[in-house]
Amino acid sequence: MNIEFKDLKELLIFNIKYYRYKNNISQEKLAELSMLSPRYITDVERGLHCPTINKIQQIANSLNIEPYILFQNCYRDINIINKMKKARQYNQKS
């Protein structure tokens, strides 16, 4: 499934969530693996913070992907997207 994004920040936020779900990692676990605070990860995923290059590297390493992957708009698994849509944190703004 391909998705349209209004800007690079929106793409980055979506991809962090997507690969976190793909790897079946909670926000807390991602925070632990990336040595960032759980609050910071939550705020990044909500669009309240834009991570620096160093933090993007830490997050990507924790997700077992290369950092540039977080900036690619590529095909995504519809099952993972559906799982994201069902999750409470994905629908907070609705």
Of 1.10.260.40, 3.20.20.70, 2.40.30.170, 3.40.50.300, the CATH number of 8-87 is 1.10.260.40
Burial of residue 36, with CB atoms counted within 10 A of its CB: 0-12 exposed, 13-18 middle, 19 or more buried: middle
pTM, 2 dp: 0.86
Residue 38 parent element (H or E): helix 38-45
52-79 in b/e burial notation, b at 16+ Cβ within 10 A? eeebbebbbebbebeeeebeeeeebeee
pLDDT in tens, 27-63: 999 999 999 999 999 999 999 999 999 999 999 999 9
